[in-house]
Amino acid sequence: MTARILDGARVAREIRAELTPQVAAFAARGGRPPGLGIVLIGEDPASQIYVRSKARAGGEVGFWIDLHVLPASTSLADVLALVTTLNRSDRHDGILVQSPLPQAMGEGATRQVFDTIDPAKDVDGFSAESVGRLVQNRPGLRSCTPAGIMELLDRCGIDPAGRHAVIIGRSDIVGKPMALMLLHRHATVTICHSRTPDLADTCARADLLVAAIGRAGFVTRGFVKPGATVVDVGMNRLSDETEVRRFFGDGSPRIDERARKGSVLIGDVHPEVAEVAGALTPVPGGVGPLTVAMLMKNTLAAAEARAGRGT
């Protein structure tokens, strides 16, 4: 068996192509494009890549992008003041503060920042109000990664209703909202984490397995029920050639890629799972592009909601 590849990059392009004329229509009606404020604090390389990708994608669909790049030495008070300013701005329909924040800001800083963002502009879907609306299955801005996964499943004809879904990972950003979205779509949901006993056996009973644990190649074929749909949320970098060979095999083109680029990306799912699964998201080109596409969709939704309220 060779898994069907669920092409998240293709679906993301479809979503963005659909959004572009909608954004143009919004701008024509309102006299301005939707505005997205992005705040990046510090020099984390991964965060810089993500922010560039989000800013570029927003510009391509027609948003006004307001990017604030702050040094790692910025105080939490200054970040909160900036967020408050963006909350009050008529030009900003969405606000995104890239995480993780610098450790020097202290424990709980991320939550304080997310709590300060106006829920109507919370295009990441992380605020307590956004999460509460999701719990109650009421309309609202949804966390982008799980929302993107649901779009992928829908557009690939995979209905979670009546299926057993297992999620590895209980984060506020992916694991928990993913469980709720699947539950609302009539899946039977199990959430696994670091203290789950017999993890592989639990996962191997899943019709739909979502891996969001942050460990390279952790999910091997023994975790996967033959024919199951496997969604790989992980994004891990391998720079050691021995590790690349161990995961991908001696003849893999990923070895040459590592030599050219210095590293390669691998998800939380081992490449061997493609021999067992019925459908599988690749890394790269799977969930990542969908996260950015759903951020664009959330921003337009926030802009339309604010325009409808006359704010």
54 is catalytic: yes
Which amino acid does the sequence have at 270?
Answer: H
234, 283 contact by CB (below 8 A)? yes
CA proximity to 152, closest of 253, 37, 288, 302: 288
CA angle, 34 then 295 then 165, to 5° = 150
3-state SS record for 221-238: HHHCCCCCEEEECCCEEE
The catalytic residue among 93, 118, 122, 124 is: 124
Tell me which residue has tokens 């800013």.
55
What domains lie within the chain, and their CATH numbers?
31-118 (3.40.50.10860), 144-288 (3.40.50.720)
The catalytic residue among 54, 176, 225, 297 is: 54
Q: In whole angstroms, what is the distance from residue 117 CA to residue 150 CA?
A: 25
The catalytic residue among 98, 207, 225, 268 is: 98
15, 292 contact by CB (below 8 A)? no
Q: Which two tokens stand for residue 279?
A: 């459908």
209, 230 contact by CB (below 8 A)? yes
- pLDDT values of the chain reduced to their tens digit, one per residue, 311 residues: 699 999 999 999 999 999 999 999 999 999 999 999 999 999 988 899 999 999 999 999 999 999 999 999 999 999 999 999 999 999 999 999 999 999 999 889 999 999 999 999 999 999 999 999 999 999 999 999 999 999 999 999 999 999 999 999 999 999 999 999 999 999 999 999 989 999 999 999 999 999 999 999 999 999 999 999 999 999 999 999 999 999 999 999 999 999 999 999 999 999 999 999 999 999 999 999 999 999 999 999 999 999 987 66
CA proximity to 40, closest of 81, 100, 91: 100
Q: In whole angstroms, what is the distance from residue 19 CA to residue 21 CA?
A: 6
